[in-house]
Amino acid sequence: LSWSLACAVCSRPAADADATACDRCGGVLAVRYAALPQRLPSSSLRGVWRYRDWLPEAPDVAAVTLGEGATPLVRLQRWSESVGLGRAYAKLEYVQPTGSFKDRGASVLVSRARARGARRITEDSSGNAGAAVAAYAARAGLECTVFAPASTAESKLAQIRAYGAELRTVAGPREAVAAAAQAAGREDGAYYAGHNANPFFVEGCKTLAFELAEELGGAPDHVILPVGGGSLYCGLALGFEQLLDARFIAAAPRHHLVQATGCMPLVAAFDAGAAAPLPVQRRPTVAGGIEIEHPARGTVILRALRDTGGNAVAVDDCAMLDARVRLAALEGIFMEPTSAAAFAGLERLAAAGVVRPQDSAVVAVTGSGLKDPQPALA
Q: Which is nearer to Zn ion, 9 or 361 (CB)?
A: 9
Q: Which residue lies nearer to Zn ion by CB, 10 or 183?
A: 10
Segment interacting with Zn ion (CB under 5 A) among 15-23, 34-42, 62-70, 348-356:
15-23
Q: Which of 370, 328, 369, 363 is nearest to 345 (CA)?
A: 363
- Report, in angstroms and rounded to the nearest whole number, the Rg of the chain calculated over CA atoms: 19
Residue selected from 22, 140, 260, 267 as contacting Zn ion according to rule CB under 5 A:
22
CB of 312 to Zn ion, least distance (A): 23
Instruction: State in angstroms the smallest separation of the CB of 232 from Zn ion.
Output: 22
Tell me if 345 contacts Zn ion by CB under 5 A.
no
CA 186 to chain centre: 24
**Residue 59 exposure: Cα atoms within 13 Å on the Cβ side:** 6
Query: CA 143, CA 166: separation in Å to the nearest integer?
Result: 8
Q: Does 25 bind Zn ion (CB under 5 A)?
A: yes
Q: Pick from 3, 5, 27, 118: which binds Zn ion (CB under 5 A)?
A: 27
In the complex, what is the shortest distance from the CB of residue 22 to Zn ion, in angstroms, rounded to a whole number? 3
Judged by CB under 5 A, which stretch of 27-35, 42-50, 162-170, 226-234 contacts Zn ion?
A: 27-35
| C-alpha–C-alpha distance, residues 257 and 266, integer Å | 9
Answer whether 124's CB lies under 8 Å from 195's CB. Answer: no
Question: Could you say which of 3, 5, 6, 7 contacts Zn ion (CB under 5 A)?
Answer: 7
Backbone angles phi, psi at 343, to 5 degrees: -70, -40
User: How far is 367 from 131, CA to CA, in rounded Å?
Assistant: 12
Q: Which of 73, 88, 93 is nearest to 361 (CA)?
A: 88
10 binding Zn ion? (CB under 5 A)? yes
Residue 193 to residue 189: CA distance in whole angstroms: 13
Kindly state the smallest distance separating residue 25's Cβ from Zn ion, in Å: 3
SS3 173: coil
CB of 198 to Zn ion, least distance (A): 16
Q: Name the minimum Å distance from CB 273 to Zn ion.
A: 22
Scanning 22-30, 40-48, 182-190, 235-243 for contacts with Zn ion by CB under 5 A, the matching segment is 22-30
Dump the DSSP string for 28-72.
Answer: PEEEEES---SS-------SGGGGGGGSSS-TTSPP--SS-----
In whole angstroms, how close is the CB of 21 to Zn ion at the nearest point?
Answer: 8
Q: Which is nearer to Zn ion, 23 or 175 (CB)?
A: 23
Which listed range, 1-9, 149-157, 232-240, 347-355, lies at the site for Zn ion (CB under 5 A)? 1-9
Q: How far apart are CA 70 and CA 212, in angstroms?
A: 10
Nearer to Zn ion, 130 or 277 (CB): 277
Point out which span in 17-25, 60-68, 72-80, 333-341 binds Zn ion (CB under 5 A).
17-25
How near is the Cβ of 304 to Zn ion at its closest, in Å?
A: 16
153 counts as binding Zn ion under rule CB under 5 A: no
**DSSP reduced 3-state for 175:** helix
Based on the shown chain and the rule CB under 5 A, indicate whether residue 298 belongs to the binding site for Zn ion: no
Please, are residues 259 and 314 in contact by the beta-carbon 8 Å criterion?
yes
Which residues are at the interface with Zn ion (CB under 5 A)? Answer: 7, 9-10, 12, 22, 24-25, 27
